[in-house]
Amino acid sequence: MATLDSRTISRMMMAPAVFLLLVWMLVPLTMTFYFSFKKFLPLRGGDLGWVGFENYIRFVTSSSFWPSVQATLAIVGGVLLITVFFAILLALLLDQPMWGQGIVRILVIAPFFVMPTVSALVWKNMFMDPVNGLFAHLWKFFGLAPFEWLSQASLLSVTMIVSWQWLPFATLILLTAIQSLDREQLEAAEIDGASTLARFYHIILPHLGQAITIVILIQTIFLLSIFAEIFVTTQGSFGTKTLTYLIFQRVLESQNVGLGSAGGVYAIILANIVAIFLMRIVGKNLDK
Amino acid sequence: MVRTATIQRKIIITAIAWTIGLLIFFPVLWTILTSFKSEAQAIADPPVFLFFDWTLENYSIVQERSDYLRYLWNSVIIAGVSTLLGILVAVPAAWSMAFTPSKRTKDILLWMLSTKMLPAVGVLYPIYLIFIQLNLLDTLIGLIVVLMMINLPIIVWMLYTYFREIPKEILEAARMDGASLQKEILHVLTPMAVPGIASTILLNFILAWNEAFWTLNLTAAKAGPLTAFIASYSSPEGLFYAKLSAASTMAIAPILILGWFSQKQLVRGLTFGAVK
C-alpha cells in the first residue's frame, strides 16, 4: 500500500511540469506543421487552402535559401572554432597558479552576462563604426584606411561579436573539466620526463574530449538560433541573413506564414539532429 | 633556485592572464567609462580613457527621455515572476524524480530537455497568433508565461541535479521516526534544498533577464523589458555614444553583479550535469 501511495504522490508532483511542457511543445508544433501545408497570408487574403509540400519546395528553392544556409554555417562554424580554440588556451592559463585568479576569472566571464542587444549595439557603434569606432581610431593610428566592418566584413563582424559573448561559457566549462583532472597522473608524467606538449596531447586533451563535445553541441543549439545580434546590427543585410533570420522575415515581416512555417520545420529538424547527439551524452551521464 | 623559478613563472602567468582578462573585459569597461563622458568626449579623436570631465548627465537624460525605470521594472517583473513560477512548478517534479525515481524518470528528463532544444523561430508564428487571439501581445503576463516555459526544462534539470545530491538516508531516517510528509518537507527538505533552489533561481533570473528573441518579438512600448529598450537605440540614437553607454550600463549592471555569484551554477545549469 505504502509504495502505491508514494507512487501516486510522485506522479501528482510531476504532473504540472509534464503537462505544461507537453502543451507548450505540442500546441505550437502542431500549428507550425498545419500552417506549413497551407498557403496562408494573413495580410493578403488569409487562409488560401492546402498546398501540400509546395511551401517546403519553395523554401529550399528560393534564392535566399542557400545564402542563408551559408551564412548560418559560417557564423556557427566560425564561432565554434574561435571559442573552442581560445577557451582551451584560456582554461589552461586560468588553471595555473597566479595572483588575483578570482578577479581574472570574473573579467573573462563578464561578457556572458551582457544582454545580446547591448553587446551587439556596443560593438556595432563604439567599436566597429567606420568613423567614430575605436577600431577606426586604432586603424588610423597605424596609418590604415578605416574599415566598414559591418558592411565590408559583415559575417566576420557578427562572428566576432557572438564569439565574444560565448567565449566565457566555453572557457568556464573547460576550466571546470580541467580542474577535475587527476593531478597525480600529470605529476607522474612530468617526473617521467614528458614534455609540456606531450602532457597536453596525451593527458589533458583526451580528458577534455567530452567537455569539448558538450561545449560544441550546446553552443551549436544556441548559435543556430541567434537573433538579437543580427536584428540590431545588420538586420540580415550584407549576407548575414541566417536561417533563423530568414524564417523570422518570412513569418513576421512579409507575413508569408505558410512558407515561413515550412522553414520552421526545417529548423526544428536541424536542431533535433544536433540535440540527439547531446541527449546521448547527457543520458549516459545520468546513469552514472 | 626552484622557488625563484616558480615565482618568476607565477609573475609571468599573472601578467599574461591579467592582460587577456582586461582585453576580454574591455568592451564592458569602455561602455561604463563612456557613459560618464559628454557626447563630444565620447567621440573624441584620439579617444580619451580616464582623463575627462566625469558627468552623470547621460543617466538623467536617458531616464527623462525614455523612462528607463519602467523598462527596468518590466525586466524585474518578467524575469522574477517567470523564474519563481518556474520554481513552483519544478520543485515538486524534480523532488519526486530525485527521490522516487521510476523507470521512466530518465526518459522524462531527457524529453523535458529536448523541448528546450526547439528553435524558437520554428514556433514564432503560432505563439504570435495565440498572443493576438488572447490579447497577450505587449503584456507582462504573456512574456512571463513564455519565459517560464522556455526556462522550465533548465529549472527542473538544475533542481534535479541538486536534489540528487541530498542523501536519501536522511529522508528515510525522518520517515522511520514517523515524520509526516508535511514535517518531512518543512524540516528535511527545506534546509537541505535551499542552496540548490537559490542557485537555480539566480541562474534562471539571469537567463530570463537577457532573453532577446521573445522579448523583442512579443513586446512594444508597454511591456518591453530592457532588451527591447536597448534595441530601440539601434538607430539613430545609437550614434549618441554617451547615452547609449549609460543606457547599456544600466541594463547590464544588475546582472553583471548577480552573474559574478553564479559562475558555478552556470556550468551545472547549462551542461545539464554532464560536466562537473
- Cell of residue B8, nine digits: 618568476
Assign 3-state DSSP to chain A and report helix, strand, coil percentages, each to 5.
75, 5, 20
C-beta atoms surrounding A45 within 10 Å:
9
Contact A115 B100 (CB under 8 A): no
Task: Give the integer Cα–Cα distance in Å for B51 and B2.
Answer: 44
Q: Which residue has the higher pLDDT, B176 or B160?
A: B160
Shortest distance between the Cα of A224 and any Cα of chain B, in A, equals 8
Q: Which residue has the higher pLDDT, A47 or B150?
A: B150
Write down the mean pLDDT value for chain B: 86
Q: How confident is the model at residue B261 (pLDDT cuts 50, 70, 90)?
A: confident
What are the structural domains of chain B? 2-58 (no CATH), 59-271 (1.10.3720.10)
Sequence-ordered list of residues with C-beta below 8 angstroms from that of B138, at least 6 positions apart, any chain: B218, B219, B220, B221, B222, B223, B224
Q: Among partner residues A110, A118, A268, which is closest to B119 by beta-carbon distance?
A: A268
Q: What confidence tens digit (pLDDT) does each residue in B34-90 have?
A: 999 888 788 777 787 787 788 888 898 888 888 888 999 999 999 999 999 999 999
What are the distances in angstroms from CA B116 to CA A117, A274, A275, B151, B197? 22, 13, 10, 8, 20
Chain B residues close to A125, C-beta within 8 Å:
238-239, 241, 244
Q: Among partner residues A113, A137, A247, which is closest to B255 by beta-carbon distance?
A: A113
Write down the mean pLDDT value for chain A: 88
DSSP at B47: P
Query: Residue A5 pLDDT more than 80?
Result: no
Instruction: Report the pLDDT value the prediction gives residue A288, as an integer from 0 to 100.
Output: 63
Average pLDDT over residues B225-245: 82
Query: Residue A31 pLDDT more than 50?
Result: yes
Contact A125 B24 (CB under 8 A): no
What are the distances in angstroms from CA B107 to CA A15, A23, A282, B110, B153? 15, 18, 11, 5, 13
Query: Residue A1 pLDDT more than 50?
Result: no
Instruction: Report the pLDDT value the prediction gives residue B276, as an integer from 0 to 100.
Output: 65
Residue range A85-208, CATH number: 1.10.3720.10
Query: Residue A257 pLDDT more than 50?
Result: yes
Contact B269, B85 (CB under 8 A): no
pTM of the model: 0.88
Task: Give the integer Cα–Cα distance in Å for B162 and B167.
Answer: 11
Task: Give the integer Cα–Cα distance in Å for A283 and B113.
Answer: 11
Q: Which residue has the higher pLDDT, A32 or A280?
A: A32
Chain A residues close to B100, C-beta within 8 Å:
6-7, 10
Q: Is the dihedral of CA A129, A132, A138, A142 positive or negative?
A: positive
C-beta atoms surrounding B260 within 10 Å:
14
Sequence-ordered list of residues with C-beta below 8 angstroms from that of B161, at least 6 positions apart, any chain: B268, B272, B273
Instruction: Tell me whether strands A46-50 and A38-41 are parallel, antiparallel or unpaired.
Output: antiparallel
Q: Count Cβ–Cβ pairs < 8 Å, chain A vs chain B.
A: 304
Looking at chain B, which residue has its C-alpha nearest residue A106?
B260
Residue numbers of A between 20 and 59 with CB closer than 8 Å to B: 20-21, 24-25, 27-29, 31-32, 35
Q: Which residue has the higher pLDDT, B29 or A52?
A: B29
Chain A residues close to B79, C-beta within 8 Å:
none
- Cell of residue B140, nine digits: 507582462
Average pLDDT over residues A211-216: 88
Looking at chain B, which residue has its C-alpha nearest residue A229?
B212
| ipTM confidence score | 0.87
Average pLDDT over residues A108-115: 91
Query: Residue A19 pLDDT more than 90?
Result: yes
DSSP B134-162: TT-TT-HHHHHHHHHHHHHHHHHHHHHHH
Average pLDDT over residues B238-254: 87
Query: Residue A2 pLDDT more than 60?
Result: no
Nearest to B95, CA basis, from A12, A13, A20: A13
Average pLDDT over residues B249-268: 82
Percent of chain B scoring above 90 in pLDDT: 35
- Cell of residue B102, nine digits: 521510476
Task: Give the integer Cα–Cα distance in Å for A98 and A102.
Answer: 10
Instruction: Report the pLDDT value the prediction gives residue B272, as an integer from 0 to 100.
Output: 73
Q: How confident is the model at residue B170 (pLDDT cuts 50, 70, 90)?
A: confident
Q: Which residue has the higher pLDDT, B41 or A115?
A: A115
Instruction: Report the pLDDT value the prediction gives residue B236, as an integer from 0 to 100.
Output: 67
What are φ and ψ of residue A47, in 5° steps? -80, 115
Sequence-ordered list of residues with C-beta below 8 angstroms from that of B229, at least 6 positions apart, any chain: B66, B68, B71, B247, B251
Shortest distance between the Cα of B119 and any Cα of chain A, in A, equals 6
Taking the Cβ of residue A99 and every Cβ of chain B, the question of whether any pair is shorter than 8 Å is answered with yes
Q: How confident is the model at residue A199 (pLDDT cuts 50, 70, 90)?
A: confident
Contact B117, A221 (CB under 8 A): yes
